[in-house]
Amino acid sequence: MSQGSVILKLISLPISILLICLGIMTILGGHITPGGGFQGGAMIASGIILSVLVYGLGNSPLELSHLYIEVFESVGALGFVIFGLIGLFVGGFYLYNFGTDLLNVVPAAIQSVFHYPDVTNAGIIPYLNIFVGLKVFAGLSAIVIAFAGFKKIVEEGE
Amino acid sequence: MLSLGPIIFGLILGLVIGSQIKLNVSDAKFTKASFIVILIAGIIVAWQSGNYPFYTDLPISTAFLSALIGIFVGKLLFARSK
């Protein structure tokens, strides 16, 4: 599976790490800049994909286990749904922004717990970005790792 | 005022992903010196990003830097080498 030269193998892990950091930065700036959960998650997944393509499945320094992918895909989806349901029960609308509370219907204690700690008064939007980012990162990485695994099986069968 | 959100969540996401880095699995050798070079390169990228995403507390991207530190700490604390 691995097709990388020595130079590729030397440079791929550092570039993967920097790509992952850029993805995290994009996720965390999603509420005030272009970007957000999907774009940042795709950038993180691109770091994993680069590593898997260059080093090969089974040899990659950045390879995710089945359990890890399963856990973070579920955490991403469940977190989004749970935040939406909290908004439904507390504010009356699904995905109501109870961290900012424009309608003044949420108790101050809940509002202060879920308020994102920065100067923009964004409420729960950054948390939703983080959940979407986790889900996209796990999903896209899983697709490529599965394709690499299928290719390995085909090559071993020939 | 320093915005704590990007720092805290950058560290958490970095820890989560850094826990999956396993060295000594390929024929390319990465030593401690390699990671110091990656850290310096990351600081340069964070510096060139400016105060992204538009916080005015520091002239450096705190989200990027905390993610990089989180990845290294996650690799040191949680990563299992094969």
Please check whether residue A7 touches B, CB under 8 A: no
**Cross-chain Cβ contact B14/A65 below 8 Å:** no
A134 near A72, Cβ under 8 Å?
Answer: yes
User: Quick one: closest CA in B to A55, which residue?
Assistant: B26
Q: Which DSSP string do the residues of A35-96 spell out, in sequence order?
A: --HHHHHHHHHHHHHHHHHHH-TTT-SB---HHHHHHHHHHHHHHHHHHHHHHHHHHSSTT-
State the Cα–Cα distance between residues B75 and B82, nearest whole angstrom: 13
User: Which residues of B fall within a CB distance of 8 Å from A6?
Assistant: 28
Neighbours of A68 (CB within 10 A): 17
Q: How many residues does chain A have?
A: 158
pLDDT number for residue B81 = 61
User: Which residues of A fall within a CB distance of 8 Å from B54?
Assistant: 29, 32-33
Mean pLDDT value across residues B59-79: 91
Please check whether residue A61 touches B, CB under 8 A: yes
Please check whether residue A27 touches B, CB under 8 A: yes
pLDDT number for residue B27 = 67
Q: Does ipTM exceed 0.95? A: no
Please check whether residue B2 touches A, CB under 8 A: no
pLDDT number for residue A129 = 94
* Global confidence as pTM: 0.92
pLDDT per residue as tens digits for the range A92-151: 889 898 888 888 888 888 888 888 888 888 889 999 999 999 999 999 999 999 999 888
State the Cα–Cα distance between residues B61 and A25, nearest whole angstrom: 8
How far B4 CA sits from the closest chain A CA (Å)?
Answer: 6
pLDDT per residue as tens digits for the range A9-68: 889 999 999 999 999 999 999 888 888 899 999 999 999 999 999 988 888 888 888 999
pLDDT number for residue A60 = 86
Cβ-Cβ contacts under 8 Å for B77 (sequence gap 6 or more): B15, B19
**Cross-chain Cβ contact A20/B45 below 8 Å:** no
User: Quick one: closest CA in A to B1, which residue?
Assistant: A119
